[in-house]
Amino acid sequence: MAKTCNKCNKKIRFGFAKKYDNNYYHTKCADEQKREDIINKDSGKNDNNILTLHDEITEKSAWGLLNKYVDRYDNKWDCIENLIIALNKKYEIYSTKLSLLNIINEMYENKKLTNLYIDRLEKEIKSKNIWDIIRNYVEKYDDPIDEFKNLYDLLTLKYKIDVSKKDLSHLLFKLFNKKEEENKLNKYNDLKKKILSEHPETIEDFTDAYLKHFDEYDRKILPLFKKLLDEKEFETGDLNSLIKKRKKFMKINGFENELYKINDYKLIDIEEMSASEFEIFLKELFILMKFNVDKTIISGDKGADLIIEKLGEKTAVQAKSFLDFVKEKDIQDVIKAKDYYYCDNAMIVASSFFTKNAIELAIKNNVKTWDGKKIKDMIEKYRISTTENNKEFEKNEKVFRI
């Protein structure tokens, strides 16, 4: 016969019931009940400590930290040790686990009641088909207290909804917090899209792309950039120092570009290259990037034109110097070439662009893709150029100044 948990009142699967104090619980609920009983048992001895801690938290304005903890974690026991450390480090508040848990426990109970009242209010407003009023209020205003009185009067006087100002404010804060999280996500996705469009590889490349699109002093954007770097598993260290260093480098690089303009240097145009010229250009580029480069046999190259190697990793590279889009078949060819030449990675470098299906197949198979925009960025970065008055040829192939 299935038993019912004495704490959550839900049925317990057969064989998973845990007995405690002559009652049956889920294992998690039993552990929770034991902890609460310990707190209740010692609460009399601990009352003075709790009052002192409560006053100290109020005096040092640390309730925001506790509220964030309660909002973030569904279980009051999660990371409680980290919360104690954070209070000590940030506010110089020392607390025993028992004293802090009494306060946290009360906050969780209040949170449950608040959520219950919010759910009831939301259902009542929706039942009267006026939820659009709440949604439009949240979309129009930047703060829950903007025009709050007018909204309250509208709901209570016109639509006869029995609601307290406290419950309405809780509902609005919940919706505004959700709106803020969505805005943060949209900003992050926008930042990620703009930075990745520059095809960065190193942390320096990412920082340069960040400076190209965003203000270095925007405190709202900088944490999002750090989040992207963490996602890419870069060791950021002192990010502000790195940004200042890269900004200075970009300034120097701009100065260098002006000097090249004075001397009438012209950057290489990949769109004017033949297939063989494009391969020679890529060979020189990869050598400049400190790769060891081998050219495959022209006849029957098995889907790879170059084999590059750095730090013990070999990559099969296929060069595509035509104006048409690179398709799925090209991705499949370089995947086969990777196996044929016993390489660790595969890569396609194109003077044009890739179809959507080709990009999806490349991502799925970890094939690296460089399109025409990426190549032009590399030409700009390494100043690969020729002069207007002296174009040299050897055996009908261009000799590039690098």
Shared-domain flag, residues 275 and 227: no
For residue 127, give every residue at least 6 positions away whose Cβ sits within 8 Å of its Cβ, in sequence order, or none. none
Domain that holds residue 284: 270-398
**How many domains, in total, are found in the chain?**
3
394 and 278 in one domain?
yes
Q: Taking 70 as the threshold, does the pLDDT of residue 388 lie above it?
A: no
Do 213 and 314 reside in the same domain of the chain? no
Contacts of 340 (CB under 8 A, 6+ apart): 302, 303, 304, 316
**Residues 381, 285 share a domain:** yes
Is 238 within a domain?
yes
One domain, residues 66 and 36:
yes
For residue range 340-377, list pLDDT tens digits in order. Answer: 999 999 999 998 889 989 999 999 999 999 988 888 88
Does residue 227 contact residue 239 with C-beta atoms inside 8 Å?
Answer: no
Q: Tens of pLDDT along 217-242?
A: 778 888 899 999 998 888 888 888 89
Average pLDDT, the chain: 82
| Contact indicator for 163, 120 with CB cutoff of 8 Å | no
CA 50 – CA 101 distance, rounded (Å): 9
Domain boundary at 66, 88, 112, which?
A: 112
The domain that holds 284 is classified in CATH as 3.40.1350.10
Q: Which two tokens stand for residue 81?
A: 């040790």
- Rounded mean pLDDT, 251-257: 78
- Domain end point (choices 231, 262, 293): 262
Over residues 33-43, the mean pLDDT reads 63
Residue 228 phi, psi (nearest 5): -65, -45
The token pair that represents 68 in the structure block: 């964030």
Res. 174 pLDDT band, cuts 50 70 90: confident
pLDDT band at 390 (very low <50, low <70, confident <90, very high): very low
Strand partners, 4: 11
Q: Return the H-helix or E-strand segment holding 57.
A: helix 27-59
Say yes or no: 256 and 279 in one domain: no
CB distance 384 to 267 below 8 Å: yes
Phi, psi of 26 (to 5 degrees): -65, 155
Q: Decide if 273 contacts 321 (C-beta within 8 A).
A: yes
Cβ-Cβ contacts under 8 Å for 216 (sequence gap 6 or more): 210, 222, 243, 244, 247
Paired tokens of 266: 């012209």
CA angle 348, 349, 355 (to 5 degrees): 70
Model confidence band, residue 300 (pLDDT cutoffs 50, 70, 90): low
- Residue type at 108? Y
Given this model, what pLDDT does residue 126 score?
92
Compute the distance between CA of residue 119 and CA of residue 112 in angstroms, rounded to an integer: 11
Q: Residue 387's pLDDT is what? A: 44
Q: What is the pLDDT of residues 78-112, one digit of tens each?
A: 788 888 888 888 888 888 777 888 888 888 888 88
Out of 221, 239, 262, pick the residue that ends a domain.
Answer: 262
End-to-end CA distance of the chain: 81
Let me know whether 205 and 275 are in one domain.
no
